[in-house]
Amino acid sequence: MREALLKVFRGEKDSGEYVTYKVPIEEGMVVLDAIHYIQANFSPELAVRWNCKAAKCGSCSAEVNGRPSLMCKSRMDKFADGEEITVQPIKSFPHVKDLVSDVSWNYRANEKIPAFTPAADADWTFYQEDIDRVQEFRKCIECFLCQDVCHVIRDHDRKDFLGPRFMVRSAGLEMHPLDTVDRTRFLKEEGGIGLCNITKCCTEVCPESIHITDNAIIPLKERVVDEFYDPIAKFFKTVFGGKKK
């Protein structure tokens, strides 16, 4: 039987060691299966966060050979025979234990975003072409891999930036055909959208293939430009009225 070598970080609060385990490989096996094998056979207390094992819930985020990935989507057969596979917890958030990090900051960041606000007398007739953009953003499974890989959060520890996930959420609200709130000032001032330098790692790691940068962040940046950096656009908006009610 083929075997894989998994080098897993074990420890609490970012202090521990790497332990290597030998795990037999089954066809179609993913890294999360290997972690479960370790739990069931060697170490029941190995901490890992997971739910569905079908790439739908976005719980099992980790860094596999240095790449932020969902463990349930990382197939073992893409690694070379005998290759040592390093599995680390995601880096950008406080470490809890083994492969688990404390991602609660994201939930607090989410609460800051002004809620969906349709007009009281809204006509709920709208068409597919009006919502194609929004539906792409709503595919997000909140795995927070984009937050993990974003260098503004990861390397510069700038928690005054909402991060790609919440830029996507904001875009979904801003571009909703019936929403009436203007979030541009929020995005510039509290959201820290200017901190994003569109280096696109969020898009590279997104397991739902959302075009985070091109379709969410850049269009939002352009809306912020309309409001704050483009005197001509601002002039027209003032004279002819904004699009929002």
Partner 1 sequence: MTDSTKTETPSVAAGGAQKAHTGLTTRKDNWWLEPALVACGFTLFIVYATFRVFENGHYEIGSYLSPFYSPKFAFDWWKFSPAILILWIPAGFRATCYYYRKAYYRAYFWDPPGCSIGHMGGHNYTGETKFPFVFQNAHRYFFYLASIVLIFLWYDVYLAFFQPTGFVVSGINLFMLLNVILLSGYSGGCHACRHLVGGRLDCFSKCESTKQQFKLWHLVTKLNEHHMLWAWLSLFSVGLTDLLIRSYEMGYVPEMRFF
Partner 2 sequence: MADYEIHEHDVLVIGAGGAGLRAAIEASSMGVSVGLVCKSLLGKAHTVMAEGGVAAALANVDPKDGWETHFQDTMKGGKMLNNWRMAQLHAQEAPERVKELERWGAVFDRTKNGKILQRAFGGHTYKRLCHVGDRTGLEMIRTLQDRGVHQGIKVYMECCVSRLLKDGDKIAGAFGYYREDGRFVLFKAKAIVLATGGVGKSFTVTSNSWEYTGDGHALAYDAGADLIDMEFVQFHPTGMVWPPGVRGILVTEGVRGEGGILRNKDGERFMYKYLPESTKNDFAATDEEAKTWVDAALEGKQTEARRPPELSTRDNVARAIYQEVKAGRGSEHGGVYLDISYQDPERVKKKLPSMYHQFKDLADVDITAGPMEVGPTMHYIMGGVRVDAETAATRVPGLFAAGECSGGMHGANRLGGNSLSDLIVFGKRAGAGAADYAKKLTATPTVSDESVKAALDEMEAPFSRPNGVNPYDIAKALNQIMSTHVGIYREEKELEAGIAKLEDLKAQVKEVGIKGTKAYNPGWHLCRDLKNMIISSEAIARSALSRKESRGAHSRLDYEDIDEENWGHVNSSISKDGDRMKLEHTPKPEMPDDLKNLFKKKEPVNA
* Residue 199 interacting entry, from partner 1, partner 2, none, C-beta within 5 to 8 Å by type: partner 1
The CB-based long-range contact list for 25-30 (8 Å cut-off, 24+ gap) reads 25/1, 25/76, 25/77, 27/77, 28/75, 28/77, 29/75, 29/76, 29/77, 30/71, 30/72, 30/73, 30/74, 30/75, 30/76
Applying CB under 8 A, which part among 14-22, 110-118, 156-164, 190-198 lies near partner 2? Answer: 110-118
Sole binder of partner 1 in the list 39, 65, 110, 117 (CB under 8 A):
65
Residues 182-221, one symbol each (x = binds partner 1 by CB under 8 A, - = not), give: ----------x-xxxxxxxx--xx-------xx---xx-x
How far apart, in whole angstroms, are the C-alpha atoms of residue 97 and residue 17? Answer: 11
Is there binding between residue 58 and partner 2 (CB under 8 A)?
Answer: yes
Around Cβ 94, how many Cβ atoms within 10 Å?
A: 12
- Strands 84-88, 67-70: pairing is unpaired
Sole binder of partner 2 in the list 8, 23, 30, 162 (CB under 8 A):
30
* Residue 19 interacting entry, from partner 2, partner 1, none, C-beta within 5 to 8 Å by type: partner 1
Is there binding between residue 126 and partner 1 (CB under 8 A)?
Answer: yes
Q: Which string of b and e fits 151-187 if b means at least 16 CB within 10 Å?
A: ebbbeeeeeebbbbbbbbbbbbbbbbeebebbbbebb
* Residue 170 interacting entry, from partner 2, partner 1, none, C-beta within 5 to 8 Å by type: none
Applying CB under 8 A, which part among 118-126, 146-154, 160-168, 192-200 lies near partner 2? Answer: 118-126
Sole binder of partner 1 in the list 30, 35, 59, 68 (CB under 8 A):
68
Sole binder of partner 1 in the list 47, 53, 208, 226 (CB under 8 A):
226
With CB under 8 A as the rule, give the number of residues binding partner 1.
Answer: 72
